[in-house]
Structure 1
Amino acid sequence: MATDAHGGASGQSIDEPLHIESENHLEDVVDDHGVVLVDFHADWCGPCQMLEPVLEGLADETEAVIAKVDVDEHQQLAGAYGVRSVPTLVLFADGEQVEQHTGVLPADRLRSLIEGYTE
């Protein structure tokens, strides 16, 4: 398969948040990329909206893939990861869940988390 750690089959890095469509889609993204930060969010969530530009910046600035899961559309997927409130951020490295944080984290803290697994 002609994929790489950064951009999948196209060979380009993913520099904007990727919207997850299903549990299988999330599994494929986690399997295909070295570091994936998943944002479990909801449209009605104020803190989630505050986090949006931070995540867009991280998608552009880091090697990690930023994935977004709407908890209202994907309740079972959110439940599978124990998401009880939003935003919840789940970090995967090499296919394994390595971190989970609830609430808004500052951009520098998120960047440090990601860089801890991409270097």
Structure 2
Amino acid sequence: MAYTPDYVDTPPSRAELDAGSGWQLLEFGAPWCPHCSAAQPVVQALLQQHDMPHLKVEDGKGRLLGRAYQVKLWPTVILLHNGEEQGRVVRPLRVEDIEALAALVRRQDA
């Protein structure tokens, strides 16, 4: 699965994500957020390097999934492997900002 430009209508539960298998890129933000828009080329670059599901979750007041992951700033990009958080980056603007996540995927897949 490649880059997903749209936020999901109904996000999965934390339990569903915890039960996941393989790699998944979880992105929290909002469609009106300028930081989120600025980060999209960086997220796309990571997903071009590593084919994995990408889930964009709109966050904000009353949205429990972001609280479950202790999201405080947007965008927050979380790399999951078999449902467990492997790393996160907040407000990535350059490809170098997400290189640590790409390195985690390469290391695990080697």
Q: Is TM (by shorter chain) over 0.5?
A: yes
Q: 1:45 deviation in Å?
A: 1.9
Secondary structure (helix, strand or coil) at the match of 1:23 reads coil
* 2:102 is the alignment partner of 1:111: yes
Aligned residue in 1 for 2:78: 90
Does 87-96 or 61-70 show the bigger shift? 61-70
Deviation at 1:117, TM superposition (A): 3.4
Cα pair distance change 1:105/1:27, threshold 3 Å: farther
> Is 1:58 aligned with 2:58?
no
- List gaps (5 residues or longer) in structure 2: none
State the 4+ residue runs in structure 1 displaced beyond 4 angstroms: none
Q: Aligned runs of 1:2-41 on 2, under 5 Å?
A: 14-17=1-4, 19-20=7-8, 21-24=10-13, 27=16, 31=20, 33-41=21-29
CA RMSD of superposed structures (Å): 2.9
Q: Unaligned regions of 5+ residues in structure 1, if any? A: 1-13
Q: Would you say the 8 A contact 2:36–2:75 is kept in 1?
A: yes
Query: What residue number does 1:6 align with?
Result: none
Give the structure-1-normalised TM-score: 0.68
Per chain length, whose mean CA-contact separation is higher, i.e. which structure has more relative contact order (CA < 8 Å, sep 6+)? Answer: 2
* C-alpha displacement of 1:29: 8.9
Residues 93 and 28 from structure 1, CA distance in 2 versus in 1: closer, same or farther, beyond 3 angstroms? closer
TM-score by length of 2: 0.72
1:43 to 7, 28, 31: 31
**Could you give the per-residue CA deviations for residues 43-82 of structure 1, whole angstroms, max 9, x where no partner exists?**
2222210111222343343122221111038721111110
1:44 aligns to what SS in structure 2? coil
